Chains A and B, each alone.
Chain A
């Protein structure tokens, strides 16, 4: 394993009076190694075939970027190869565009029919830019004017993870709980559907998934005592087709005769009620604020489910189904087919909402249809996706909160030493609450067979406290102080080989990587850093090839597209914020380590490196 160290330091900079010192890293010997706790049902059999998405899930690249994940397989792989390791040094900004919102920008720009669409953080303004004209002038602006009060209900900055274009509509969500379809020609709303109720703590920050005439949306609010859900809307009318809750009675979770979970622990009647104290499931979280993936090949929907609430686990004894796991559902009816719980009775805020990447991969001597999920709890899960069987689970970041996954029962093996407790500070828990990796998606290259995982290397101290449920206010009950993981670099880009179950290379970063990655057929991986560098590294070696300093830190999803002139372009939004960047986009005070749910303790130096911003950047080679 090669490690490329790219630590940035401020030379002799006077310490800002405001900032706390960054706590010492957790010692290396306090986390488990991959060899200790990684498990698989069979040894690697790379000779059984080539890892790649199926043609149904990742059709031939048309050079556009119509959905945040690029394709239903969620590979974020661009087949464009004009930009190569040999020429990327000459990459230059082609144009930029101010988003006029200085909050965390997490969205992916969308490019369809030579028009680029960008949605901002709250107030969720949508811009359409004409790529056929010099400087990409505005075609229209759509301002949905979400309720200002929704800002006070967003746990982790007022972010938005993007929209998607389908059949002449740009479809996106607003912080105050609406899904809106805008006519791409006129910039006018075709329909808008109110789904969330901010008085109950429900907001929406995720990017909708659109497939076969249906729009799939989930809520945010796992820190506000919501009862999480997923809905399907009619793409043409916005009409609600079905809603499945993530806690509660089977009938409301849409669990019926089709439900055949692989593991015994997920089998039984009304587990969404029985695995909670009386009534607690009604305010138990399980929000679906991350990625929902549609699988054309198996006609299935995969829905990641967030953490249970409150964070104080002693107020909710039980497995807390169906939080911190994943559902496979029937896209037409929402009927659950299987479920797997990454973190039963989660005690560390390990949401199960990260991306699902759908691949055909050799395992146990034959090609299998797998779903790869890189969880907050620190493991890369490779699952057989027709049944929800875990084939392998290996740590990719610092882990000591668990000791691996028992592949017979499917259950995470909890480490009692790192279980959180009422009134007692448990120290050096790894990974931290935001996970070994948060929502920001990985990419996969069928050329290299590697996943490019943008992630964190952070741990935490945690003391649970009693918390009252008051609708519309936080329902957390924990005093958290985060700290760097072993080595002290807070972020890392890991190129992971899912077949061999090990990293091929890794790049260390000073700050946690909160942007997604995109990988191209030129064998280049692009990603951004929280201190404002947009970087290109060699997809095969991790060598840094190019970097460009933008106006603010990057926490968004970069893309690659073919412009009207036939050339390859790379686009990304700057604008630091999100949970990790709240100390800049806040205002949040660096003197309070517990601020922003404990994140400030490990990010209090970020204001020395970047300021708030919000700009679209588009790059190309000279031509």
Chain B
């Protein structure tokens, strides 16, 4: 139900009402796994790289121009822009920079949207269709891509969001700073 998140009054989008009227168990994509997917951090101590669990639902949203543009529209309709502006932030954090408090990969952004976060990010899981959360996530992921930033022609960014290439989310989520002088891959054996 949508009752804990009162969405009332006339101004409401038809989209949203549709989401509420689907009954207690809104239809999720068929590939929805029976158990929630755990996403591990890449920064487990003592391990160079940890395995990263990927959410198979994410795949459809890479290289998907339509999804990014739908996400852009939803970003306004669900008042995301009220806090994050056009990516520059305000009540909520900046989404144009390279700081990702809860992870930058598409599935991690999706997870943030589903669960909410403790410093003011509302939880949207089961309140809007899951597909829309993926579309929002991929728009958010696109905002800080070099191609999207380069398309900004004035002081209102994120208006021409580039599709997100899968390469953007490859890797362990961490890489050494450029021109690092330490070989971080060396394992110290403790030999005296």
A308 to chain B, nearest CB (A): 14
Could you tell me the distance between the alpha carbons of A280 and B8 in the complex, rounded to whole angstroms?
11
A404 at the interface (CB under 8 A from B): no
A109 to chain B, nearest CB (A): 27
B119 and A476 contacting across the interface, CB-CB below 8 Å: no
B173 at the interface (CB under 8 A from A): no
Could you tell me the distance between the alpha carbons of A153 and B91 in the complex, rounded to whole angstroms?
7
B155 and A589 contacting across the interface, CB-CB below 8 Å: no
Chain B residues with CB below 8 A from A152, complex form? 83, 91-92, 119-122
Interface size on B, residues (CB 8 A): 42
A600 and B82 contacting across the interface, CB-CB below 8 Å: no
A468 and B13 contacting across the interface, CB-CB below 8 Å: yes
Could you tell me the distance between the alpha carbons of A481 and B154 in the complex, rounded to whole angstroms?
11
Q: Can you name the residue of chain A whose Cβ is closest to the Cβ of B83?
A: A474
Most B CB contacts (10 A, CB to CB) among A153, A470, A479, A587 go to A470
Could you tell me the distance between the alpha carbons of A596 and B10 in the complex, rounded to whole angstroms?
27
A591 and B16 contacting across the interface, CB-CB below 8 Å: no
Could you tell me the distance between the alpha carbons of A506 and B154 in the complex, rounded to whole angstroms?
34
Could you tell me the distance between the alpha carbons of A475 and B154 in the complex, rounded to whole angstroms?
25
Of A469, A473, A582, A591, the residue contacting B90 (CB under 8 A) is A582
A154 at the interface (CB under 8 A from B): yes
Most A CB contacts (10 A, CB to CB) among B8, B82, B83, B121 go to B82
Most A CB contacts (10 A, CB to CB) among B13, B86, B154 go to B86
Chain A residues with CB below 8 A from B85, complex form? 588, 592, 594-597, 600
Q: Can you name the residue of chain B whose Cβ is closest to the Cβ of A597?
A: B90
Residue-wise interface mask of B (100-129) relative to A, using a CB-CB cutoff of 8 A (1 in contact, 0 not): 000000000000000000111110000000
Residue-wise interface mask of B (56-68) relative to A, using a CB-CB cutoff of 8 A (1 in contact, 0 not): 0000000000000
B91 to chain A, nearest CB (A): 6
Chain A residues with CB below 8 A from B89, complex form? 586-589, 592, 595-596
One of B42-50, B73-81, B132-140, B178-186 contacting the partner? B73-81
Q: Can you name the residue of chain B whose Cβ is closest to the Cβ of A18?
A: B97
A11 at the interface (CB under 8 A from B): no
A472 and B122 contacting across the interface, CB-CB below 8 Å: yes
A468 and B12 contacting across the interface, CB-CB below 8 Å: yes
B78 and A473 contacting across the interface, CB-CB below 8 Å: yes
A20 at the interface (CB under 8 A from B): yes
A150-B82 contact in complex given A471-B6, A587-B93, A597-B90, C-beta closer than 8 Å: no
A592 and B120 contacting across the interface, CB-CB below 8 Å: no
Q: Can you name the residue of chain B whose Cβ is closest to the Cβ of A595?
A: B88
Chain A residues with CB below 8 A from B51, complex form? none
A279 at the interface (CB under 8 A from B): yes
Within 8 A of B (CB), among A572-612: 582, 586-597, 600-601
B87 at the interface (CB under 8 A from A): yes
Within 8 A of B (CB), among A481-533: 481
B110 to chain A, nearest CB (A): 19
Q: Can you name the residue of chain A whose Cβ is closest to the Cβ of B128?
A: A470
B11 at the interface (CB under 8 A from A): yes
Within 8 A of A (CB), among B138-157: 149, 152, 154-157
Most A CB contacts (10 A, CB to CB) among B6, B7, B76, B120 go to B120
Could you tell me the distance between the alpha carbons of A224 and B76 in the complex, rounded to whole angstroms?
15
B94 at the interface (CB under 8 A from A): yes
Residue-wise interface mask of A (127-148) relative to B, using a CB-CB cutoff of 8 A (1 in contact, 0 not): 0000000000000000000001
A154 and B156 contacting across the interface, CB-CB below 8 Å: no
B99 at the interface (CB under 8 A from A): yes
A468 and B90 contacting across the interface, CB-CB below 8 Å: no
A589-B97 contact in complex given A473-B79, A479-B156, C-beta closer than 8 Å: yes
Q: Can you name the residue of chain A whose Cβ is closest to the Cβ of B144?
A: A589
Of A155, A472, A589, the residue contacting B87 (CB under 8 A) is A589
B120 and A149 contacting across the interface, CB-CB below 8 Å: yes
A145 to chain B, nearest CB (A): 13
B9 at the interface (CB under 8 A from A): yes
A5 to chain B, nearest CB (A): 28
B79 and A481 contacting across the interface, CB-CB below 8 Å: no
A349 at the interface (CB under 8 A from B): no
Chain B residues with CB below 8 A from A474, complex form? 79, 82-83, 91
B5 at the interface (CB under 8 A from A): yes
A185 to chain B, nearest CB (A): 34
A473-B86 contact in complex given A283-B9, A468-B78, A481-B155, C-beta closer than 8 Å: no
Chain B residues with CB below 8 A from A596, complex form? 85, 88-90
A468-B156 contact in complex given A149-B118, A592-B87, C-beta closer than 8 Å: no
User: What are 20 A-B pairs at a CB distance below 8 A?
Assistant: A152-B120, A153-B91, A154-B91, A466-B11, A468-B16, A470-B79, A471-B5, A471-B7, A473-B79, A474-B82, A475-B79, A481-B156, A582-B90, A588-B85, A588-B90, A589-B89, A592-B87, A592-B158, A593-B156, A595-B94
Q: 6 smallest A-B Cβ distances: which pairs?
A: A152-B120, A592-B88, A474-B82, A595-B88, A593-B155, A589-B88
- Other than A473-B78, A588-B85, A592-B158, give 6 A-B pairs with Cβ distance below 8 A: A467-B11, A468-B7, A469-B9, A473-B122, A592-B89, A595-B90
